[in-house]
Structure 1
């Protein structure tokens, strides 16, 4: 039997803050980014990996989606972008 390891992984501060703010921006990672990538793939704006990392490639795809959906083009996923992506996704499902 192996001994209990007291090694803890410290998450970057930004990954914790995005839970409270709900906004995603370049460099963020986690489950919310995975969901964003899934929405972007489903809508045909992203063809990269679903890795949960808001990479420059994911941000470019997000900007393209924002432009197409006539939202403010920021490359950040704010509340309005989330709402619109979800609504469009539900209509196409």
Structure 2
């Protein structure tokens, strides 16, 4: 599971305006028609998925609740995942 906040380069306290702005920037950068990188299409899809979740209030609340639950249920595994995503996003 990837961290949607990391995908968009945001903190979990980001506003909807922050989410929209980050989405536009990341989508423009990773769009396969503009970026020749081999993984551009996959990163573009990840950016779209992150935006779909974080821009919808209900989906974002469910996502945030699940992130908190995972942290409480398995703090070491969750911390490792956050650490890995922070240094190697979208691996």
TM-score normalised to structure 2 length: 0.30
Q: Which has the larger radius of gyration?
A: 1
Q: Which has the higher helix share?
A: 2
TM-score normalised to structure 1 length: 0.29
